[in-house]
Structure 1
Amino acid sequence: MAPSGKTYGIADLKKHTTDKSCWLVVHGKVYDVTEFLEEHPGGYDIILTSTGKDATQDFEEIGHSNSAKKLLEKYVIGEFEGGDSAPAVAKVAPQSANAAKQQPAKSAATRTFHVILPLLILALALALNFYMMSQKKSA
């Protein structure tokens, strides 16, 4: 159990979702990360989006380093009554450690590019078709 021996539920978490009091759950432990918000390399707003719920999946998807995981222990205040959701996280993202190392996550820019490129090709094809039709009419 956590040092305080306290157990917290989702209702408790929902009371601490601001930059003045920020709690989250990772692997069945409740953390008060309020003091860490300004130090977080990804910005405090990233953490705030994960408050009020079990943030295990969010935490693991980012790929935090071992030193980041160790730093988190400094902020533990209790246990989560829902337990550790790690098995559920594993079902959501079944990826081996080797596969994760070999295949980096796609950035938002890459995902955006894959959506926009087909639209640009379609727009170009329509413009070309319009041009060809206008040339036929004038001939």
Structure 2
Amino acid sequence: MGGDSKVFTLSQVSKHNNPKDCWLIIEGKVYDVTKFLEEHPGGDDVLLSVTAKDATDDFEDIGHSSTAKAMLDEFYIGDIDTATISSTTTYTPPKQPHYNQDKTKEFVIKMLQFLVPVIFLCVAVGIRFYAKPAE
């Protein structure tokens, strides 16, 4: 991080909100994490869901390791103009799917898609082998 850091507005950072160009704001610093999207352990949708806003709370809530925090240095591109971030600042969120942290519904559906045919197969085999022939 050099002394001549570039300063970006929220509007400028907000334009970088897709998988081919993704910038984040964490602790007043701007990071271009585009190259890291595929490597991120939580998936790229986690990072894309926090574009165009201050992602500090989201970053801290996860409890990133000191190694993860140190990795930010390689993605640093400048600072945010804090005057452009406030509770009254509005922006248009990017058109991207909402990140669903709770995958319970999808898990249940996938389990049922597997278990229902298996149950039918077991019942069919059981009837075939254990049914008494009619006399």
Q: Which TM-score tier does this pair reach, normalised by the shorter chain?
A: 0.5 to 0.7
Q: Which residue of structure 2 aligns with residue 37 of structure 1?
A: 37
For 2:62 and 2:38, the matched residues in 1 are separated by 18
Unaligned regions of 5+ residues in structure 1, if any? Answer: 86-106, 110-139
**Offset at residue 59 of structure 1 (A):** 0.2
Give every structure 1 segment of 4 or more consecutive aligned residues whose post-TM-superposition deviation is greater than 2 Å. none
Q: Which residue of structure 1 aligns with residue 11 of structure 2?
A: 11
For 2:29 and 2:10, the matched residues in 1 are separated by 12
Unaligned regions of 5+ residues in structure 2, if any? Answer: 86-100, 104-135
Listed one character per residue, the Cα deviations across residues 38-69 of structure 1 (whole Å, up to 9, x for unaligned) are 00000000000001111000000000000000
Structure 2 length normalisation: TM-score? 0.59
Q: How much is the aligned-residue C-alpha RMSD, in angstroms?
A: 2.2
Q: Paired residues, what number?
A: 87
Q: Which residue of structure 2 aligns with residue 80 of structure 1?
A: 80
Q: Name the % identity.
A: 48
SS of the counterpart of 2:36?
A: helix
SS of the counterpart of 1:59?
A: helix
SS of the counterpart of 1:51?
A: coil
More helix as a share of residues: 1
Q: Which residue of structure 1 aligns with residue 112 of structure 2?
A: none
Based on CA coordinates, which of the two structures has the bigger radius of gyration?
A: 2
SS of the counterpart of 1:13?
A: helix
